[in-house]
Amino acid sequence: MRHITVAHNFEEVRVTMFAIEMRVDRALLPLVLVLVLACAGKQVTKPAPAKAPTVKKTTVAKKAPLPPMLAPWTGPHGGVPPFDKVDDKRFEADFDVAFKLLLADVAKIANNPEPATFDNTLVALERAGKPLDRIGTLFFTMASSVNTPAIQKLSRVIRPKLSTTYDSIYFDAKLFARIAKVHAARDKGLNAEQKRLVEKAYDKFVQRGAKLTGDDKKRLGAINKRLATLFTDFANRVQADEDTWVVLAEKDLGGLSPALVSVYKAAAEKRKVAGYAVVNTRSAVAPFLTFSDNRKLREKVWRAFVNRGDGPEGKGGGNNDTNAIIAEIVKLRAERAKLLGYASHAHWRMANTMAKDPARAQSLMMRVWPAAVARVKEEVADMRKMARKLKARHKIEPWDYRYYMEKVRKARYDLDQNEFKAYFELENMIKASYYLAERLYGYAFKEITGRVKTFHPDVRVYHVTNKADGSHVGIFYRDDFARQYKRSGAWQATYRGQHKIDGQVDAVVSNNNNFAKSAPGSKTLISLDDAETLFHEFGHALHALANDTTYPTLRDTPRDFVEFPSQVHENWVLSREVLDKFARHYKTGKKMPQALIDKVRRARTFNMGFSTVEYLAAALVDMKLHTDPAGVIEADKYERDALKAIGMPREIVMRHRLPHFMHLFATDAYSAGYYSYLWSDVMAADAWGAFEETGDVWHAATAKKFKDIILATGDAIDRAEAYRMFRGRDPKVEALLKNRGFPTKK
């Protein structure tokens, strides 16, 4: 399951620092995430001149050219982000200009003497604030991908100002009165897409406090401003803990493949330390825990990783302790929900999701949880047998799970992950993803790196076209490697989203991964899980590129839908054509042998207990935490008690412990929403069945239907109805259970 980031309303996306799209294991996401969400701003083309005769040409925006970071992007097809114009010293002042320009746009709408109409109110709002969109794209790209101490410091200033600015818009009584008038008359003269825009805008304003009065509005604004600061502090502390490493000596390399040793050597050289370095990020830690024969070092690396944000010993303390921040965030969220008239933060966050109510999400999770726990017990029993066979007398601890799991896999399926990894060279898998886009949707990707400015030398850029006629589709950036000051995980971001409000504007999107970079001159090999992550994030990019809605707001799909399209695209990694064409041995260039493919497919449901439990435990704790109306917690104790209550196996920890749970505490975006990966995965498993049932997973008519109904429509159509239009019925949870090898009967 991947945690992705998909386009959502500008103020939420920017405040969430591109809603960090973190990923979960493939087991959970045949599913992906800023948070994060693929983040998207409402970039639009130049609007028509204002009609009101009182508007003079000598406004602030026209007296002098806009600062470079606020100015319209240059170049063909609407231009691209001017990363070469980024200036840390100018951000704060330029944001202040952008805030003023946005508020001036909104004031014109709110004070328009003409009666409120769809065009002069809702469409005008869609056009407002373009300079803020542009500088927001630049700043929050830096905050997620090059988050230097200078950017971290700026985030503590800019994010509260952003929160305050948007609250002033949501709290504007005149503006809301105009929206309410259009909403009341929405059944008269509007088409279906226009009516949906009105309803979404009205609901959003109400949900953000437009109906509150006096002191309640003031208090809500103070809460939002404080949360913006806390989110930044939380994220920066976790990032600081991830920018650490465990040093290995030559004697500590037992069990590690030459390719993995090369990665750790490169990491040490980059950090100017002797020996080898296991950096405290998942892409480095997970393979070490899987293959290292040194149990003491496995424990040391594991403890450093799971205790991020929780002090060196997992008991709090230190400069990067996040426990007090978590307690304050949860308390403020509970207070905010009460102010807005909701039973809990979860009820507030889920009001505009497919699930609607926490009970429905809880029901789905508990449908899967018992089967997953039962499978873990079977897995642990198998590992105990393997440990005894290897003359080990210790219990299976969390730092042992991946190690013995791999031993069992090798014995049961004669499948060595290192053998398989030799066929998954990163560059070939990138080409495979572009092949997928061509076969399914007719897209072509031509690299234009060097012709477009980027924020880091690792970033590559592609022009996306329709292969049939060469027509423009969009621009695609990719940033694949982990590095200092880059946030962990994987995510998709939308630098500019598609819309047609003033003519066709096409998407500019990015994929951001954290693969461990090989030493210079060596090829980067990735695991099957990494390859599925790559396809997952690429699925988010395809979703943004295929979008075909008129209004920017209608790109924004519910949180528990956004992972669905990306999860579906993971399935093509192991399709026969992709393997035959692109899974070539990195040394010999030979195709993957059929015998190895058969082994991988037989092992597809292996270890599903572990991956499902570590994810679901985090999702269940998230939901329990945010359905509590009081919101008074001590993070470590709450986590322990909640896990005990659901029967968490002792051999596993949550995929994201609370002290570093970025989805929940670096933003509001995934709070009370971590369940969404499972919700989306139900649809993904069921939708993949639509392709399989044709007998051809590249079936052209099914791909076209998926693109036209699921990808292109954004949220212009209710997502549940869109799924029924695609599949002919609602999704069935049995498809997910079957994919994971779990019993399908209750």
- 507-515 and 491-496 strand pairing: antiparallel
Q: Which of 549, 550, 512 is nearest to 533 (CA)?
A: 512
Mean pLDDT by 10 residues, the chain (746 residues): 30 33 32 30 35 38 81 95 97 98 98 98 98 98 96 96 97 98 97 97 98 96 97 95 95 95 94 95 93 98 96 83 97 98 98 96 97 97 96 96 96 87 95 98 98 97 98 98 90 97 96 92 90 97 98 96 96 95 95 91 91 97 97 95 97 97 94 97 97 98 98 97 97 94 80
Start-to-end CA span in the chain (Å) = 23
Could you list the active site residues?
Answer: 537
Class of domain 61-238: mainly alpha
- Residue type for position 249: A
- Residue type for position 631: G
> Would you state the pLDDT for residue 62?
52
Are 442 and 466 within 8 A, CB to CB? yes
- pTM of the prediction? 0.89
> Would you state the pLDDT for residue 376?
97
Return all residues near 492 (Cβ < 8 A) that are at least 6 apart: 4, 5, 6, 21, 32, 33, 38, 509, 510, 511, 512, 537, 540, 541, 544, 566
Angle at 265 between CA 262 and CA 269, to 5 degrees: 140
What is the rounded distance in angstroms from the CA atom of residue 107 to the CA atom of residue 289? Answer: 57
| pLDDT tens per residue, range 661-709 | 999 999 999 999 999 999 999 999 999 999 999 999 999 999 999 999 9
Are 329 and 665 within 8 A, CB to CB? yes
- DSSP H or E segment with residue 450: none
Are 83 and 453 within 8 A, CB to CB? yes
Three-state secondary-structure class, residue 397:
coil
Q: Which of 559, 614, 623 is nearest to 26 (CA)?
A: 614
Which letter does DSSP use for residue 584 in this model?
A: B
Three-state secondary-structure class, residue 512:
strand
> Would you state the pLDDT for residue 353?
96
Angle at 476 between CA 77 and CA 582, to 5 degrees: 135
> Would you state the pLDDT for residue 239?
93
| pLDDT tens per residue, range 40-74 | 333 333 333 333 333 334 344 456 789 999 999 99
Domain map (residue ranges) of the chain = 61-238, 245-306
> Would you state the pLDDT for residue 36?
31
